[in-house]
Structure 1
């Protein structure tokens, strides 16, 4: 079987707290100095005075050394890791008054020992720079301070100057990026509402916007985006969608006032609008929370907090039907191949609708049991295996979903617990990893085979609102309330040796269901994916694999829209990662795409 490359490197480190030492840091022999030292020794907020040092023994690759740390340093490390990891081992509680009783210090030493041992055991914590610096790993082992080919690298960044990014859509074939930004500041929104109030004798003027929908075009040769157009709205944007209709392609945005904003995809470059246009007839009684599209029928599904799901025909510009969900929806996902609409709810359930008939028919509820008090905060679906991924306060759950015209059911496959509810998740099929974004701004990669986190990135300074995974170039896009969208390049997969014979369908089916998937190549040499050539990195055929060079990433705003949308210049080079193995051949049907001119159709339009 082909071995897939997991994100992050192996750091075989172990550590334990061997002992503690009470350090007497007296400042003088006079009575006043001794009195001050006695007070300092009891107040834990004072850094001087009598204190306790904990001696940590570290083992790595045959080496051994000791590290002296105080309790405050342990506590500071735990506070940093809480913002970066999905969960952090428990640490002994802080105390305002220093205590030097042997029994107390021994109990604290044992607690810190459990804490540091758990960090060394976990792959995501051992890959954190803060843990490595705490244990002096990067000082003792120089190669750990250098970039590694197994680690994701930020290759580009897009900045919204006005508002935080609430949601985004990305079409890699056409090179289109759609950003929906909203004002997440409560004080700023209140100020906008007050400013928009007009007295009878005041001159009418356009209301100040609270949200912005912008469309960007990517350059075919590099990660460079140019704004094509944008619309502004007084209501907040909650979700966005690109509707590539046959007659007229449009960008859609769900708004907090129950309407759906529209931005024509073929608008003139740099065009900006005043008050944004909205779809006719579609108006919910509460805010729109999710949008989905049936590309075959050109039906738009809009879900609202009022439990209503409206089906709108984009060709005929008319409402087809309206159904009621059991609880307020949170997200939607439409599987085009199966004609199934997955709707996650605030009561912890996921309702599956049949979209091949109207009105929509509810054919399954996952799970079948009673509703939960924990809403589903994130959702993704793998149509090739029928696996549903949901995120909530209970963690990340995996469900196998089987549906037919007569009904359906969902069975729980597994669950990854001990974490805060994720705000967004994405399934990486090629490496069997789940990528989750959190309110702390962290992006955590979970290894499905091990059932635990394997790598963590402090991607943003504020909450992650949306993530999108591209399996062919192994690229991740993350958006946040901190007004940035970042693009990450993940390591490629390890290739399997060529097999002279092709697999039978039974063998392919068995490989899909195996814990570690492998697919045999049946023809020729690997030709790469259609997106890899759009960066400035180079690709070498043969056994040497990928060689990715610096990626120049420059984003330019539109001069005609000052103050509402800008883009930052950012570049990232793969230092220390000159040769990365190419993707595993056929790790997933979607992961290997034949490189042809057809794949670039419409790119320059």
Structure 2
């Protein structure tokens, strides 16, 4: 079980429709008024006239009350939940003509009652404010109307002015944020093509850009970013990547014309040439995904023509080219295991050995499968447990992957189904054992792996979520969307401690006891200033690439929340297995309400005597 608090509150509520009442809302007693009332009573699109009220009985912690709702209010709630949750319970369908037959109304009452029972049974639904307002929970229970420490809080936002975000990359150690944006509007792209057409007698002009790659630098002391450089392209950007090659770090962007755009990390605004691409690398179709071997500085680029090219960034030459069984959709490189995971359109994942060249395919997940039908839209990998997470139209699947030099296999561990649409972004929160998925309707849904069901939902964006990244050390989530924004969310980081087990002391003198967790043998904590969160070699969050860890005073965004005195955002390394880190000595009533605080104040005990006990274990 997780040692970190999971998102969302436990709300033990139940509700059902007790009865229905036919309400006669006549406007007059003359013949014309009665005729109009008869017409209104039959047309369901008219809000006036004869209608049916449904009486709902709500139960919550010994309390009971009734709520009166019409069918159109049920329908509005259903539409709201459909845009916010991964799936919604079934509900009686709408009808253009109102019917008042007792048998019909009784069947509709039973259907609405079943809908309410299913909604109350799901934790992600009852944590929605729309459901709480529908059942008058926030009016009857004042504590539900107040912000809770278990709920994620948006701490920052970065806005892209030109296009919607298609992908992003974040390096917390360097404070670098790379955004890849593109024009998602089909009509706008057609208009751009027509505008670029020139007659023979017209003067030639550069084509209008349809995408851009922008580099943002994080402020050292607050959660803000400022744009540092930009490169525009006439082709569409599908993915971006930050490549730290020796002393020449470079930003890369996969383009729809088969090339890879570049932008030097040290480039200033206006200094780079528009449309600059990486030499020698050119696919015959659009680049769909990229990954990086940090040790050998090998760039892996995959195209929809099934080709995977290995390019040496140090020598500036192509090392090899292999063919995937199906067009790839996403790639992840595990640096510790030297494995490249390639998700494909046929519903499988190919695993390649990158320790030798040319690449050797050693496994197909699931084991022995050639085609499953539904393309894999997103995936994530936890190297500490060898667990692969994939998302498709069928839902979210968990696979146990075992590989060696001789081969490997992948077998299903579990799945989460009943999704109305495939997830477009997927990350694994190891510390709380939660799967976080973004969807095409702009929603971000948290799935509790221990319970096997959704536990919380956020209407994060007004358009589809295209990419997400999880920082397990500070417990931060970054989401990008077609609505031209990247948002940063702070998740709850402390395990609630019962008040009976805590010795009373003023808040400023409460000592936070923390023990370093066991580390994988391949990881080393050698970060700047002895802070493990700044280590570039630690593998937080189950990612094989550079740890997305938080430097001191992690910053980012257009808006920053102010830090409350005496509060902090905790975070230590955690794996999917139960970790050995623990937080104690802090009553629940004194915990910080908003978990989006930047930085962490020095513990009172350390400030008082500067003991070396806090560092025990880090030198092993």
Q: TM-score range by the shorter chain?
A: 0.7 to 0.9
Q: 1:409: how far off? A: 0.3
Query: Quick one: structure 1 residues 38 and 532, their matched pair in 2 at CA, closer, same or farther if it must change by over 3 Å?
Result: farther
Aligned residue in 2 for 1:461: 462
Alignment of 1:226-237 (within 5 A): 226-237=226-237
Q: 1:157: how far off? A: 0.5
Q: 1:3: how far off? A: 3.7
Q: How many residues end up aligned between the 2 structures?
A: 546
Aligned residue in 1 for 2:92: 92
Aligned residue in 2 for 1:224: 224
Aligned residue in 2 for 1:35: 35
Aligned residue in 2 for 1:364: 363
Alignment of 1:168-187 (within 5 A): 168-187=168-187
Q: For residues 169 and 41 of structure 1, what CA distance do their matches in structure 2 show?
A: 57
Q: 1:167: how far off? A: 0.2
Q: For residues 70 and 444 of structure 1, what CA distance do their matches in structure 2 show?
A: 29
Q: For residues 463 and 407 of structure 1, what CA distance do their matches in structure 2 show?
A: 38
Query: Quick one: structure 1 residues 20 and 397, their matched pair in 2 at CA, closer, same or farther if it must change by over 3 Å?
Result: same
Aligned residue in 2 for 1:562: none
What is the CA deviation profile of residues 466-501 of structure 1, one whole-angstrom value per residue up to 9, with x for unaligned ones? 000000000000000000000001111317899999
Alignment of 1:467-546 (within 5 A): 467-494=468-495, 529=533, 531=550, 533-534=552-553
Q: For residues 43 and 89 of structure 2, what CA distance do their matches in structure 1 show?
A: 26
Is the Cα contact below 8 Å between 1:398 and 1:414 reproduced in 2? yes
Q: 1:504: how far off? A: 9.5
Is the Cα contact below 8 Å between 1:444 and 1:456 reproduced in 2? yes
Q: For residues 500 and 301 of structure 1, what CA distance do their matches in structure 2 show?
A: 40
Q: 1:573: how far off? A: 5.8
Q: 1:204: how far off? A: 2.0
Is the Cα contact below 8 Å between 2:222 and 2:560 reproduced in 1? no
Q: 1:72: how far off? A: 0.6
Task: Give me the TM-score of the superposition, normalised by structure 2.
Answer: 0.83
Q: For residues 240 and 491 of structure 1, what CA distance do their matches in structure 2 show?
A: 29
What is the CA deviation profile of residues 54-90 of structure 1, one whole-angstrom value per residue up to 9, with x for unaligned ones? 0001111221110000011001100011010000000
Is the Cα contact below 8 Å between 1:493 and 1:584 reproduced in 2? no
Alignment of 1:21-420 (within 5 A): 21-268=21-268, 270-367=269-366, 368-419=368-419, 420=421
Aligned residue in 2 for 1:430: 431
Q: For residues 554 and 318 of structure 1, what CA distance do their matches in structure 2 show?
A: 37
Q: For residues 109 and 133 of structure 1, what CA distance do their matches in structure 2 show?
A: 20
Q: For residues 379 and 252 of structure 2, what CA distance do their matches in structure 1 show?
A: 20
Query: What is the DSSP-based 3-state SS (H/G/I as helix, E as strand, rest coil) of the residue aligned with 1:271?
Result: coil
Instruction: Tell me which moved more, 459-468 or 141-150.
Output: 141-150
Query: What is the DSSP-based 3-state SS (H/G/I as helix, E as strand, rest coil) of the residue aligned with 2:343?
Result: strand
Q: For residues 187 and 411 of structure 2, what CA distance do their matches in structure 1 show?
A: 44
Instruction: Tell me which moved more, 347-356 or 194-203.
Output: 194-203
Superposition CA RMSD, Å: 2.8
Q: 1:574: how far off? A: 8.1
Is the Cα contact below 8 Å between 2:517 and 2:580 reproduced in 1? no
What is the CA deviation profile of residues 239-262 of structure 1, one whole-angstrom value per residue up to 9, with x for unaligned ones? 000000014210000000000000
Q: 1:4: how far off? A: 2.8
Aligned residue in 2 for 1:558: none
Q: For residues 573 and 496 of structure 2, what CA distance do their matches in structure 1 show?
A: 6
Query: Quick one: structure 1 residues 579 and 22, their matched pair in 2 at CA, closer, same or farther if it must change by over 3 Å?
Result: farther
Query: Quick one: structure 1 residues 84 and 580, their matched pair in 2 at CA, closer, same or farther if it must change by over 3 Å?
Result: farther
Instruction: Tell me which moved more, 581-590 or 8-17.
Output: 581-590
Q: 1:133: how far off? A: 0.5
Query: Quick one: structure 1 residues 323 and 410, their matched pair in 2 at CA, closer, same or farther if it must change by over 3 Å?
Result: same
Q: 1:220: how far off? A: 1.3
Q: For residues 503 and 189 of structure 1, what CA distance do their matches in structure 2 show?
A: 51
Query: Quick one: structure 1 residues 281 and 63, their matched pair in 2 at CA, closer, same or farther if it must change by over 3 Å?
Result: same
Aligned residue in 1 for 2:526: none
Gaps of 5+ in 1: 510-525, 537-552, 556-569, 596-605
Q: 1:198: how far off? A: 2.0
Q: For residues 68 and 413 of structure 1, what CA distance do their matches in structure 2 show?
A: 45
Does residue 1:12 correspond to 2:3, yes or no? no
Is the Cα contact below 8 Å between 2:164 and 2:485 reproduced in 1? yes
Query: Quick one: structure 1 residues 7 and 580, their matched pair in 2 at CA, closer, same or farther if it must change by over 3 Å?
Result: farther
What is the CA deviation profile of residues 12-55 of structure 1, one whole-angstrom value per residue up to 9, with x for unaligned ones? 11111111111111111111111111111111001111111000
Q: For residues 287 and 325 of structure 2, what CA distance do their matches in structure 1 show?
A: 16
Is the Cα contact below 8 Å between 1:55 and 1:67 reproduced in 2? yes
Q: For residues 578 and 14 of structure 1, what CA distance do their matches in structure 2 show?
A: 38
Aligned residue in 2 for 1:563: none
Q: For residues 504 and 427 of structure 1, what CA distance do their matches in structure 2 show?
A: 19
Is the Cα contact below 8 Å between 1:166 and 1:239 reproduced in 2? yes
Q: For residues 105 and 574 of structure 1, what CA distance do their matches in structure 2 show?
A: 54
Q: For residues 499 and 156 of structure 1, what CA distance do their matches in structure 2 show?
A: 29
Q: For residues 56 and 364 of structure 2, what CA distance do their matches in structure 1 show?
A: 51
Q: For residues 405 and 554 of structure 2, what CA distance do their matches in structure 1 show?
A: 45
Q: 1:373: how far off? A: 1.7
What is the CA deviation profile of residues 243-297 of structure 1, one whole-angstrom value per residue up to 9, with x for unaligned ones? 00014210000000000000001113x2354422111111111100000000111
Q: 1:330: how far off? A: 0.3
Query: Quick one: structure 1 residues 89 and 154, their matched pair in 2 at CA, closer, same or farther if it must change by over 3 Å?
Result: same
Is the Cα contact below 8 Å between 2:472 and 2:573 reproduced in 1? no
Query: Quick one: structure 1 residues 357 and 495, their matched pair in 2 at CA, closer, same or farther if it must change by over 3 Å?
Result: farther
Q: For residues 292 and 342 of structure 2, what CA distance do their matches in structure 1 show?
A: 13
Query: What is the DSSP-based 3-state SS (H/G/I as helix, E as strand, rest coil) of the residue aligned with 1:188?
Result: helix
Q: For residues 107 and 304 of structure 2, what CA distance do their matches in structure 1 show?
A: 50
Q: 1:586: how far off? A: 5.2
Is the Cα contact below 8 Å between 2:384 and 2:575 reproduced in 1? no
Aligned residue in 2 for 1:519: none
Query: Quick one: structure 1 residues 321 and 584, their matched pair in 2 at CA, closer, same or farther if it must change by over 3 Å?
Result: closer
